[in-house]
Structure formats: structure tokens, C-alpha cells
Structure 1
């Protein structure tokens, strides 16, 4: 059984919706178990992320998909606290050779969401993970997936909290892609 973890922080609910679509996409693959891991405010005490159970789940996963809203050009403070806490796993490379991917959402069409994806990719690379971007040229597939044209991962946009259906379909596609790649590497 392949385990794909979707770990994310959501403030207003739109990142949570994307995470659910990523998880649903991964779950479409037979023999894939999805771990839905939301970073919550209660996990952060005195500025430090403290949830050893969640970190252990991620260590046992074959793939990790990271998600965060874009705030001030990067990940949310809650996600950053999680990333900082993952350094204990970095030292021993417990996440090395896992498949990784990422997604983000912002209120503007070009509101530095790419930087958030790059942050997530660097985090994965520091852990020795194998990054899976989108293999869909922006707006060049028949379903119109990847409408904002990011190859590094999923960038979504919403100014009012309502998600574009195409962004949700792209999130579903990303989850399925990560599950398929994880199965390929496990074989």
C-alpha cells in the first residue's frame, strides 16, 4: 500500500478545498492510502510547531504534497513553523527519496505564488525528496487544466474564497500524478 500525505495550512478554507481535491486525486489510484494532515493553530505553541504524531505520519509516507496559502510572497507563518520543525527530520534525511509536490493559492493572478511553490520545492529538496511538478503546459490541454501556467506545481487564484473549478480539477490531477509516480518508484 502506497501512502500519499497531503500536509497543508488553510486560513480561510480555500487551501483546504485544494488539499481535498489533491487527496481525492491521489485516492483514485488503486492501492493508495491518503493521509490528510492539516496544520492547525493548536499545533503551534510559543511559536514552535509541536505535533510529533503528524511528523511520524509523514515519515511513514511514500509521498508528501505540501500546501499553503501565499501570504506576503511566501508560505503562511503556520506552515513555516511546520517547515522549521521538520529540520529534525532533515538531519537524518528521514524524508529522503519520497516524491514531493506542492500547491498554493493567492488572491491575485500574479501575487508571488510562484515564490511560495519555490519555497515548498526548496524545502523538499533540502529533505532529499524528488519533486514532481505539473506535466501540463498552461492552458494547452483539452480540459484547460493548469490555467495559470505553473509547471512547478499548482497555483490557484481566488479573490473571494470561491475556487475556480479548473483549479480544483488541476489539484485532483496533481494528486493523481503524485500517486502514480509514487507507485512507479515503489515498484
Structure 2
């Protein structure tokens, strides 16, 4: 059985989508299957996205930080996930999160906290970034630096007001890839551990 990692995300201008694609590559690099679930607008039916996410072994939540929290379309998805909450459909799955904004801070921690609380309400198990903050001065943190914003609970990326083809920079994209790889490896271990338990229960 293939281990699947769902990446549920909203991207207002394409920058968060770049991170979602990098996460998906990390999932592939770890030998699992990424399932990209794009939240396009407030008006769409979130039910199919909620159901598709529930079929994965792990779910990574992603949204830009707008006005200090996740974007409205992602919040609409989170509210719609009550369908899974009431049935326990996501309970004990693995979870992680990522966000992006123009500013280096921008209260991205608040957005990541919202994502982690969403996972906790579903009874999921949160996976942190697992990459230390750079051991260099702020002036030495170039575009290639991993975890250059210095986040721990999840991925925080920073994008300039420019095309998604050039921003967020390479360091943020690689940090996203590494998070995807980390979640996928954890999901693979989680799945292997669950199988003997299921066989014993049978």
C-alpha cells in the first residue's frame, strides 16, 4: 500500500503554491506519494478536499499569512473539516504546516499556531520543522539559507512582491522540500508500525 501525504493549501498570488510544490518533491524523494489539494476560493465546495485529505496518511496544511492569520479561503476549509472532526476521520494521522508572507515576521507564528491547533482538534500528531535556525548573523542569512526566518513549529517562508518564479528564494524552497521529506519519512514509519498492530488485532 502506497503511503500518501496530502498537501492542502491556499495560495493568493502563487508564492505559497511554490512551497507546496517543493513539499511535494520532498515527499516523492522520501518514497511516498504527494497529493496536492489546492483551495482555490471561498466559494468552492470544500467537501471533496476534506474527503481526499482523509484518505492520506499525513496532511500538511498550508496558507499565506494575511493580517496575522491564515487566509480566508483556508479558514473556510478548516471550518468545513468539521465533517471529519465529528467522525474522527483524521484522528491519529500525522500533520504539519507551512505559511508565507511578505514580511519576515508578519505574525506567521500565529498562522502556524492556527494550523497546529486545527490538527490538535482533529486528534492528529504534529510534526515540527526539525531544522535549526541559522547559526549566522542576520546579515549573513542569504537567499540560500535553510530556515532563514528561524521558525520551529513549521515552515515560515518570506516572499518579496515579485513573481513566484523568483520568490520565495531557494533556501525557503529547499526548507519546504526537507519538510515534505520529513513528513513522508515519518508517515512511512507510522504506516509500518500500524500494520503489525492491525494484523495482531485481526
For normalisation by structure 1, the TM-score amounts to 0.92
Q: Distance in 2 between matches of 1:138 and 1:116?
A: 19
Q: Distance in 2 between matches of 1:101 and 1:35?
A: 14
Q: Distance in 1 between matches of 2:87 and 2:135?
A: 41
Residue of structure 2 equivalent to 1:67 = 62
Q: Distance in 1 between matches of 2:159 and 2:28?
A: 25
Q: Distance in 2 between matches of 1:177 and 1:103?
A: 13
Residue of structure 2 equivalent to 1:4 = 5
Residue of structure 2 equivalent to 1:128 = 123
Of residues 172, 177, 190, the one that matches 1:185 is: 190
Residue of structure 2 equivalent to 1:13 = 14
1:81-92 equivalences under 5 Å are 81-92=76-87
Which blocks of at least 5 consecutive residues in structure 1 are unaligned? none
Of residues 153, 178, 184, the one that matches 1:173 is: 178
Q: CA deviation at 1:132?
A: 0.3
* Structure 2 contact 46–80 (Cα < 8 Å) conserved: no
> Residues 140 and 26 of structure 1: is their aligned pair in 2 closer, same or farther, counting only changes over 3 Å?
farther
For normalisation by structure 2, the TM-score amounts to 0.85
Q: Which is higher, the Rg of structure 1 or of structure 2?
A: 2
* Structure 2 contact 149–156 (Cα < 8 Å) conserved: yes
What is the RMSD computed on CA atoms of the aligned residues?
Answer: 1.4
Q: CA deviation at 1:51?
A: 3.2
Residue of structure 2 equivalent to 1:40 = 40
